[in-house]
Amino acid sequence: MSTKTEPSLFIIFGGTGDLSRRKLLPALAQIWVEGHLNERFRVVVVGRSPKSDEEFRNVARQSLADVGMPQADIDRSVSHIHYHALGEGTDDDYRGLATRLADLGRDADIPPNHAFYRSLPPRAFNSTAGGLGVAGLKDETHGWTRLVVEKPFGTGLASAQELNRQIHDHFTENQIYRIDHYLGKETVQNLLVFRLANAFIESSWNRDRIEAVQITVSEHLGVGTRAEYYDHSGALRDMVQNHITQLLTLVALQLFIDSWRWQGVPFYVRTGKCMPHKSTQIAIRFREAPISFFQRMGCSADTHDVLTITLQPNGGFSFYLDIKQPGSPLRLERIPLKFNYDQHFAQTMPDSYQTLLLDVLKGDQTLFVHADEVEESWSVYRPILENPPKACDYVAGTWGPPGANHLAIPEADLWQRKRV
């Protein structure tokens, strides 16, 4: 994160909303303070109602104060924030926006490099994209144009395909950054490094060595005030199709796990509300040796060798090994080799939006969702969405319904309970 970005304007549609105040403005301010952004960088917040730059800067000051930013950094950051009232969003309104951006660019010596963040409902996409086109703000003749699209990326295969069609009517795929904050988490990115940068892990990452993969995304809170939304979306749309599928893809390094590498290896997934604690964890259970050397001596390992990767909270990993206890008779004890982010790194890990917004400004699409991935993931779950199975109730504060016990592997052995 050491190379500065090019001079540019970052434009937030829906910039007066909750996401902008809680996440986007603090993230942009932090990467600005840390020196990652070019000095010729400005933020333009677009809203409906009239407001002066200074009036909105007061809103921004409060947002940055709420996340604990020092006052000196707040003052330095908000001086680069501007506000523009779009009005009703007519073609003339968008031409007015184009004029404002051109004026800001000329005053600050910024070429027409524009990153548009669309923090708006999906139904507003066509009007926004069309307005940008009418105003000539998609043109890349003298600079670049990037469009950041927030979730949801559809509610099923048909709606995802329609949304992609609407986007591609106005922008090319290399201009589009479908953002999912989950992919910006340092612990999620570490999955790739852990998997590919360590030779002993890479050589064991297949059906010959791995017996099962378990992915748990548990939430301690209930649906709260989102009951109406959750009744419609359910866990499959809310968590499985996006976050959990992305984790599965990173573990398998492919969207289809019915392949030679993973043939016969079950991938177990669970998620739910009101579980004992909030956790995102991946457990890789390795196969046992065909013969237990120490069993004939009256001792053997109690469980399989398990690599546990915890993404949150207390991100890190642990790998359990057997050692000999001192003395006689021969006894084995299982101990963990552990790594914990907070204990090892003194600095605070960057918020996922800091990582992702900086990648947008650098033009790096690695951590963003491609159109093909969106449609493929909805296609995978289409049979379940079209013919949903009967829901199973479970008691709040437990790890799920008793019906999950029908799985072939005993529950006590399948689901890892220990936390890193």
Residue 3 lies in a domain: no
Q: Are residues 145 and 211 in the same domain?
A: no
- ∠ CA 164-152-57, nearest 5°, is 110
Residue 301 lies in a domain: yes
Domain boundary among 150, 175, 205: 150
Q: Are residues 192 and 98 in the same domain?
A: no
148: Cβ contacts below 8 Å, ≥ 6 apart: 115, 116, 117, 118, 177, 179, 360
Q: Are residues 135 and 197 in the same domain?
A: no
Q: Are residues 192 and 120 in the same domain?
A: no
What distance in Å separates the CA atoms of residue 116 and residue 138, rounded to the nearest whole number? 10
Q: Are residues 42 and 137 in the same domain?
A: yes
Residue 283 lies in a domain: yes
Q: Are residues 135 and 204 in the same domain?
A: no
Q: Are residues 272 and 393 in the same domain?
A: yes
Residue 361 lies in a domain: no
DSSP of 261-306: TTTT--EEEEEESS-SS-EEEEEEEEPPPSS-TTGGGT---SS--E
Q: Are residues 118 and 209 in the same domain?
A: no
Domain around 73: 8-150
Q: Given CA atoms 352, 1, 250, 175 in this order, what sign does their dihedral have?
A: positive
CATH of the domain at 291: 3.30.360.10
Q: Are strands 8-13 and 316-324 parallel, antiparallel or unpaired?
A: unpaired
How many domains, in total, are found in the chain? 2
- Out of 243, 277, 304, 344, pick the active-site residue: 243
Domain boundary among 104, 126, 150: 150
Residue 48 lies in a domain: yes
Q: Given CA atoms 233, 235, 240, 242 in this order, what sign does their dihedral have?
A: positive
Residue 356 lies in a domain: no
What distance in Å separates the CA atoms of residue 340 and residue 74, rounded to the nearest whole number? 31
The predicted model scores a pTM of 0.85
Q: How far is CA 362 from CA 133, 145, 146, 273, 354, in A?
A: 23, 12, 10, 37, 12
Q: Are residues 230 and 84 in the same domain?
A: no
CATH of the domain at 140: 3.40.50.720
What element of type H or E holds 332?
A: strand 332-340
Residue 372 lies in a domain: no
What distance in Å separates the CA atoms of residue 111 and residue 6, rounded to the nearest whole number? 9
Q: Are residues 89 and 139 in the same domain?
A: yes
Residue 177 lies in a domain: no
337: Cβ contacts below 8 Å, ≥ 6 apart: 318, 319, 320, 321
Token digits of residue 123: 């139904």
> What backbone torsions phi and psi does residue 156 show, to the nearest 5 degrees?
180, 180
Predicted confidence pLDDT, tens digits, the chain (420 residues): 447 899 999 999 988 888 899 999 999 999 999 999 999 999 999 998 899 999 999 999 999 999 999 999 999 999 999 999 998 889 999 999 999 999 999 999 999 999 999 988 777 778 888 899 889 898 888 899 999 998 888 889 999 999 899 889 889 999 999 998 888 888 888 888 888 888 888 888 888 888 888 888 888 888 777 777 777 778 888 888 888 888 888 888 778 777 888 888 888 888 888 888 888 888 888 887 777 767 666 666 555 678 888 888 888 888 877 788 888 888 777 788 888 888 888 777 788 899 999 999 999 999 999 999 999 999 999 999 999 888 888 888 888 887 776 654 444 444 555 444
Domain boundary among 133, 150, 167: 150
Q: Are residues 82 and 215 in the same domain?
A: no
Query: Is 243 annotated as catalytic?
Result: yes
Q: Are residues 198 and 74 in the same domain?
A: no
The sheet carrying 210-218 orders its strands as 267-272, 210-218, 279-286, 306-312, 316-324, 332-340
